[in-house]
């Protein structure tokens, strides 16, 4: 999980495609009642 600015949407996609990412998300889901990953865009 990460909170903060990213260089681009492509950088986020690349991070999510890294080996082990799916396993780490599965581990988070196993201990939480609900987990909904989202990508937000700052509008200001």
Domain ranges, ordered by start, for the chain:
7-35
Confidence (pLDDT) at 20: 94
Confidence (pLDDT) at 38: 85
Confidence (pLDDT) at 42: 79
Is-contact 39 9, C-beta < 8 A? yes
The model carries a pTM of 0.66
Cβ partners under 8 Å of residue 6, min gap 6: 12
Q: What is the pLDDT of residues 1-44, one digit of tens each?
A: 777 888 999 999 999 999 999 999 899 899 999 988 888 887 87
Q: What is the pLDDT of residues 14-26, one digit of tens each?
A: 999 999 999 998 9
Confidence (pLDDT) at 4: 81
d(Cα 16, Cα 9) in Å, to the nearest integer? Answer: 11
């Amino acid at each position: 999980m990460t909170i903060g600015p990213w260089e681009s949407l492509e950088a986020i996609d690349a991070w999510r495609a890294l080996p082990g990412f799916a396993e780490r998300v599965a581990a988070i889901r196993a201990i939480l009642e609900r987990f909904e990953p989202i990508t937000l865009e700052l509008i200001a």
